[in-house]
A = this chain, B = another copy of it.
């Protein structure tokens, strides 16, 4: 038998993403032992029962003991305190990555914890895959198949560490790419974070209208798809909104300006403007979907 990619993998935060990663690596045979960590012991017991992890600790410092691989799978707001807690207990040469939806904030947190140079084994990452469901029960081994994973290695990251994190994700069936944390945050502010905020904001607006109950009664298929992402975990999106503040404000301001222009065109009865915008949007969307082979 060949050596596993990772002999002992500690996953801190065995939820949808952390649990799915563990399951996928089990199936692919890429890992020796998996140690889970979280705050709710009941969830960890369940993860052992489901065969997702081998054992667990509710103490991150203990969980990373002797691990050659560490994955942080918590909401991004919790990552600084976890890095702080595990720092003195990390094995020499351990590879450390995360799955957070923002990258600049995770790198900034790591610099506050480790100083100006992070450990060479530290390679932040973000799998572009998920559902609106949360927790270990919602996890499944196929989540990452043919999905992208973005790695944002730091200047001080070891090339071997980046290759190891890449190899781990490729085992799950994902396609790995790299970019800078800043670029990552700008791209995902536009394609993921802003749409989530719009969906939350729309449902919130409708939920506070007088005719609330009626409004939802007549909401049809398009509305259901459009607002699906508003069923996502509020705590996770709270963390993301605060963590990616600058890139988000930039694209929100742009969007608010464009939306207001559309509003003005409706008020002025400017049909040419509306037709032009709708047509450009439809073409861009159809073209994107063709490429993504919906």
Q: Does A224 contact B (CB under 8 A)?
A: yes
A188→B258 contact, CB < 8 A: no
Q: Please encode chain A, from 236 to 263, with 1 for each CB lying within 8 Å of some chain B CB and 0 for all others.
A: 0110011001001101111110111011
Give Cα A199 to B284, complex, Å: 12
Q: Does A116 contact B (CB under 8 A)?
A: no
From residue 240 to 294 of chain A, which have CB atoms closer than 8 A to chain B? Answer: 241-242, 245, 248-249, 251-256, 258-260, 262-263, 266-267, 269, 271, 274-275, 277-282, 284-289, 291-292, 294
Q: Does A114 contact B (CB under 8 A)?
A: no
A205→B235 contact, CB < 8 A: no
Interface on chain A toward B: helix, strand, loop, or mixed SS?
A: helix
B231→A282 contact, CB < 8 A: yes
Within the complex, which residue of B205, B234, B253 is in contact with A282, where a contact is CB–CB below 8 Å?
Answer: B234
A223→B266 contact, CB < 8 A: no
Q: Please encode chain A, from 176 to 202, with 1 for each CB lying within 8 Å of some chain B CB and 0 for all others.
A: 000000000011101110111111111
Given contacts A190-B206, A203-B285, contact A226 B224 (CB under 8 A): no
- When all copies of this chain in the complex are counted, the total is 2
Question: Using Cβ atoms and an 8 Å threshold, which residues of chain B touch A275?
Answer: 234-235, 238
What is the number of residues of chain A that contact chain B, defined by CB distance less than 8 Å? 91
Tell me, rounded to whole Å, the shortest Cβ–Cβ distance linking A97 to chain B: 19
Question: Using Cβ atoms and an 8 Å threshold, which residues of chain B touch A228?
Answer: 222, 225-226
Within the complex, which residue of B148, B187, B203 is in contact with A211, where a contact is CB–CB below 8 Å?
Answer: B187
A289→B231 contact, CB < 8 A: yes
B256→A224 contact, CB < 8 A: no
Q: Which of A1-9, A84-92, A212-220 contacts B (4 or more CB under 8 A)?
A: A212-220
From residue 13 to 65 of chain A, which have CB atoms closer than 8 A to chain B? Answer: none
